[in-house]
A and B are shown apart, each in its own frame.
Chain A
């Protein structure tokens, strides 16, 4: 596509068979107007929107199915327990895990990673051991490991990236020693959109006997994920980036790791029996699910996975790739714009900065045009340092975004430049 001469397109179903206009009808929030303009929601990497089907499922649970789970023999408790537990199968299928008991409900990606840091890291990482992370990590895959390293006297090694935002795999390979105990790597960078070569990285780590935790927060909504093909040891993601509610998330772990780990939180639901002399823990996954969980949110996640499955992750990814290609061409062609993150393999994220204009000023003025983007360091300050910027403007796409919305983004950026040109 030669976008430099491309005229704004008419709204239409795209070439890949995704009827976006019809899909948009499913998302009531997309009818919002901001400052008198139609909302152009391009902050999907922070949190995506819920379709009516998910909202309705959530309301139905609240209206007619709620009770605490695993506790009562009464009707509602049985319904709630069944609906809640049924989501494990949907999640298992979404990431092609081998077994349902390898799916642990958490409150989100951050919680999932902390679970691994506590349950695996604090048990199996000791003084002088090493943890390999990458410069592309979200803070939630850095800070828990720093806490473990500080407590245990372990060290963190960081995989660098090139100017395009691609990890340096040769350096990665060279970081392994006999003290390497774990690798933490994001599947897709939330700040740049880089898709990392997880299967290759896992194979390298396993050759050195190190397990790999993959932060899948930005991958699970956009790419087909197959944890068995990746052969990763842990995979973490959040419901709210997958068109589901906030407050729920998933940790996948290989059963043998989960069984060897210590529990993260102690309390009700995670035990087999308790006495003051001795408590025995429940088998996985419940060993890691102490206390009353976010029942409605997990059930909402199930409805979101049903919705996304019906569209198909292949069609979703293909449409988002087209959006990204178009946005990259159009925004990249503008004078005074620098794209940050130009990896060959990317998903759904366009980070950039405007010459001489701070990203937060850009964000405020784009909002005046109804365009919602994220501005800031995206909880990935090492990435910002690597590229020598305090912050970036990030447009991130979902399958319900359209090419005309990208035209609106481009027009709004022009307006910002005009304000600053005086």
Chain B
């Protein structure tokens, strides 16, 4: 089976239809908005931080299945983790999606997130998978209730921003 079909079979079916932690979080202490202009993906990540730990996390918005599944698995993975561990995971996920970290050989904390390794073979969709993680990063570093829009490239680390065309 091709990389794309495999990826969809493995994660989309489950997480796209039944996303975990989907919805606005009551009493969020931090939140950020993420936008992928190419795809039209538009999500929000909400956090409640307590003692430098992710006490609660949620997301909502409109997005493609890869983005939604990535966000869903992300919320599951970082809940209960320290802010530092969450940031580390975000970096690892980004590196894996960009093909800079091979989860089969390098050390990592990705666990089941490994299923997204195949996205590196779909260069036009890498950003869809990374967007939730970048939005998480923005939320972790945001002032409570602030949006990061306009301050930052929504998806850094992936080279030159690719505009939509035609």
Residues of A within 8 A of B (CB): 35, 45-47, 190, 357-361, 364-365, 367-368, 374, 376-379, 384, 390-391, 419-420, 422
Contacts and interface: CB of A to CB of B under 8 A. Distances in A.
Contacts of A360: 39-40, 64, 66, 125, 128
A364 B166 contact: no
Nearest to B17: A422
A190 B165 CA distance: 11
Given A376-B40, A419-B9, A361 B166 contact: no
A376 B125 contact: no
A358 B9 contact: no
Contact of B164 (A35, A359, A376): A376
Contacts, number: 67
B113 to A, nearest CB: 19
Contacts of A365: 4-5, 8
Contacts of A45: 166
A390 B165 contact: no
B15 to A, nearest CB: 12
B53 interface: no
A361 B5 CA distance: 11
A422 B13 contact: yes
B121 to A, nearest CB: 11
Determine which residue in B2, B125, B166 has the highest number of CB atoms from chain A within 10 A of its CB, and name it.
B166
A13 B30 CA distance: 62
A358 B9 CA distance: 16
Given A374-B166, A376-B40, A377-B40, A364 B122 contact: yes
A385 B9 CA distance: 31
Given A190-B166, A379-B166, A364 B39 contact: no
Nearest to A190: B166
21 contacts: A35-B2, A45-B166, A360-B39, A360-B40, A361-B8, A361-B64, A364-B4, A364-B125, A365-B8, A367-B4, A368-B2, A368-B4, A376-B39, A376-B40, A377-B164, A378-B166, A390-B40, A391-B39, A391-B40, A419-B8, A419-B12
A47 B166 contact: yes
Given A365-B5, A376-B39, A46 B62 contact: no
Determine which residue in B2, B9, B63, B64 has the highest number of CB atoms from chain A within 10 A of its CB, and name it.
B64
